[in-house]
């Protein structure tokens, strides 16, 4: 974090400063900020966030013992550390992020890129960060730090020397992206797609459009909107960008895109395509599996080239990326039995993309096996969307459909109703039962997709299978 005095910290979060140890209001703090006391070190700021399971205030003393310079609290705590008392620590965290990024902008040449979309945010963030990190100091979220806590924690990692801040914005309801992105007013807004992910929280696809368009609405006037030309709902955000005086850089696979992919080919070792941008066409050999990740790469290239990075440099750096993120199309196992663990997140769109990738990378004499769990946060649309996945798996010719968990059972029922009989489709209530079955069922030449939302827990089943068949 950039250096601030305790008095400046308290002022930024509208808090009451209670000094501890030998501190004065002019004591300077420049350490990291975190809500996890186990990650606190000397000079850091501990945010005592109340939670559903425990309360961060219980760990203030531990953070102090680890060397914390100050704690953000909602009530004073008996601990040998300076404390700033605020009404709500999550609100205070956001206020502090706004102040720190504002000061970093004033101190240097900071460019802020915001990314949102129903799918692909984390992969696109990682790809763009890989391109930019060799251009200058780049701050990007760890894992999927994209919510009301994770996004500000990422913002607070900027320093006066940070050249690029890449922020990922997720949301579980209307207004959340506007609040988070409004803290930093991105110079570049990337919108990947508008799909059914979290539709239950938003209230339908049109409400999801409104929520995702919030990023464009709060990004810097006169900035840049990087929009998916292939998604009609994203394309419909163009008038919003125009109202804010933002230029538009389109990405997609259609002829009208500014950054375009042609000749996409998916294999078990990666995905290749021809990328055209700014009058040049070059081949990209992406190690990440799946045609859908080409779109994420296009978005990253569109933003990076707008920031002045040559296309050839973008491609060179993207080709060094071996894995988008753990549990996202992660290859495990061996050439004998290949496990693709993609069970960190799932939506109807990402489920369909993963199933199509499984079908595409499976060669003659090999067998497709899909281990599928529930998609969360779909609300009233959950039943029909799980039905659609079961139907798609059958139509793609997936040879073994293994459905895990009662919340996903409609996938199994739909697959059976569509003709997957004689153990072609099978259901297990628990991951342990599925694991035992798969240990005896999988054979040489199998290509296995493990796909579910995080809450279903199948990512750990994927890890176990990967280890067993390594």
* Ligand-binding site membership of 62 (annotated): no
* Ligand-binding site membership of 195 (annotated): no
* Ligand-binding site membership of 212 (annotated): no
CA dist., res. 383 & res. 306, Å (int): 42
Question: Residue 222 — φ and ψ, nearest 5°?
Answer: 80, 5
Locate the DSSP E strands across 74-216. Answer: 82-85, 111-116, 138-139, 164-168, 188-191
CA dist., res. 183 & res. 84, Å (int): 21
* Ligand-binding site membership of 451 (annotated): no
| Beta pairing partners, 99 | none
* Ligand-binding site membership of 119 (annotated): yes
Hey, what's the torsion of the CAs at 49, 52, 54, 57, to 10 degrees? Answer: 30
H-run or E-run covering 97: helix 89-107
Q: Which two tokens stand for residue 326?
A: 């753990």
Instruction: Please state, as a whole number, how many other Cβ atoms lie within 10 Å of the Cβ of residue 81.
Output: 23
3-state secondary structure of 407: helix
CA dist., res. 364 & res. 100, Å (int): 56
* Ligand-binding site membership of 296 (annotated): no
* Ligand-binding site membership of 150 (annotated): no
Biggest CA–CA distance in the chain, Å, is 75
CA dist., res. 227 & res. 175, Å (int): 20
Residues 6+ apart with CB under 8 A from 314: 131, 300, 301, 304, 305
CA dist., res. 57 & res. 43, Å (int): 18
Helices 292-306, 121-132: inter-axial angle, 10-degree rounding: 40
CA distance to 35, 103, 159, 169, 389, per residue, from 156 (Å): 12, 11, 8, 15, 40
Burial 404-428 (b: 16+ CB within 10 A, else e): bbebbbbbbebbbebebeeeebbbb
Q: How many helices (H) and strands (E) does the chain have?
A: 17, 22
CA dist., res. 48 & res. 59, Å (int): 7
Residues annotated in a binding site: 117-123
Residues annotated in a binding site for ATP: 117-123
């Amino acid at each position: 974090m950039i250096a601030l005095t305790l008095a400046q910290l308290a002022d930024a979060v509208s808090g009451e400063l209670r000094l501890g140890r030998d501190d004065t209001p002019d004591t300077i703090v420049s350490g990291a900020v975190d809500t996890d006391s186990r990650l606190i070190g000397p000079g850091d700021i501990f945010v005592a966030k109340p939670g559903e399971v425990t309360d961060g205030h219980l760990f203030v003393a531990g953070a102090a013992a680890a060397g914390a310079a100050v704690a953000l609290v909602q009530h004073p705590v008996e601990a040998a550390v300076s404390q700033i008392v605020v009404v709500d620590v999550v609100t205070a965290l956001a206020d502090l992020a706004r102040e720190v990024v504002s000061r970093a902008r004033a101190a240097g040449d900071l460019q802020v890129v915001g990314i949102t979309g129903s799918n692909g945010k984390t992969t696109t963030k990682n790809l763009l960060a890989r391109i930019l990190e060799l251009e200058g100091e780049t701050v990007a979220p760890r894992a999927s730090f994209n919510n009301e806590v994770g996004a500000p924690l990422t913002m607070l990692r900027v320093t006066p020397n940070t050249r690029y801040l890449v922020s990922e914005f997720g949301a579980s309801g209307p207004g959340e992206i506007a609040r988070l992105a409004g803290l930093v007013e991105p110079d570049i807004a990337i919108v990947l797609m508008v799909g059914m992910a979290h539709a239950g929280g938003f209230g339908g696809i049109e409400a999801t459009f409104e929520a995702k368009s919030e990023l464009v609405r709060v990004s810097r006037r006169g900035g840049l909107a990087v929009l998916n030309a292939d998604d009609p709902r994203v394309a419909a955000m163009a008038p919003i960008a125009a109202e804010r005086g933002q230029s538009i850089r389109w990405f997609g696979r259609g002829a009208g895109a500014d950054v375009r992919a042609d000749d996409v080919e998916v294999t078990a070792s990666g995905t290749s395509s021809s990328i055209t941008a700014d009058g040049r066409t070059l081949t990209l050999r992406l190690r990440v599996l799946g045609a859908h990740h080409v779109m994420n790469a296009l978005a990253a290239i569109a933003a990076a080239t707008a920031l002045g990075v040559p296309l050839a440099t973008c491609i060179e750096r993207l080709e060094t990326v071996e894995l988008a993120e753990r549990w996202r199309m992660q290859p495990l196992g061996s050439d004998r039995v290949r496990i693709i663990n993609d069970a960190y997140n799932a939506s109807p769109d990402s489920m369909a993309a993963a199933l199509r990738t499984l079908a595409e990378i499976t060669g003659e004499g090999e067998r497709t096996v899909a281990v599928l769990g529930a998609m969360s946060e779909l609300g009233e649309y959950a039943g029909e969307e799980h039905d659609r996945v079961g139907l798609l798996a059958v139509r793609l010719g997936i040879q073994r459909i293994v459905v895990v968990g009662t919340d996903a059972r409609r996938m199994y029922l739909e697959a059976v109703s569509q003709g997957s009989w004689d153990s072609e489709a099978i259901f297990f209530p628990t991951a342990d039962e599925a694991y035992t079955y798969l240990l005896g069922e999988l054979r040489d030449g199998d290509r296995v997709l493990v796909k579910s939302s995080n809450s279903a827990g199948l990512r750990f089943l994927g890890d176990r299978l990967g280890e067993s068949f390594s």
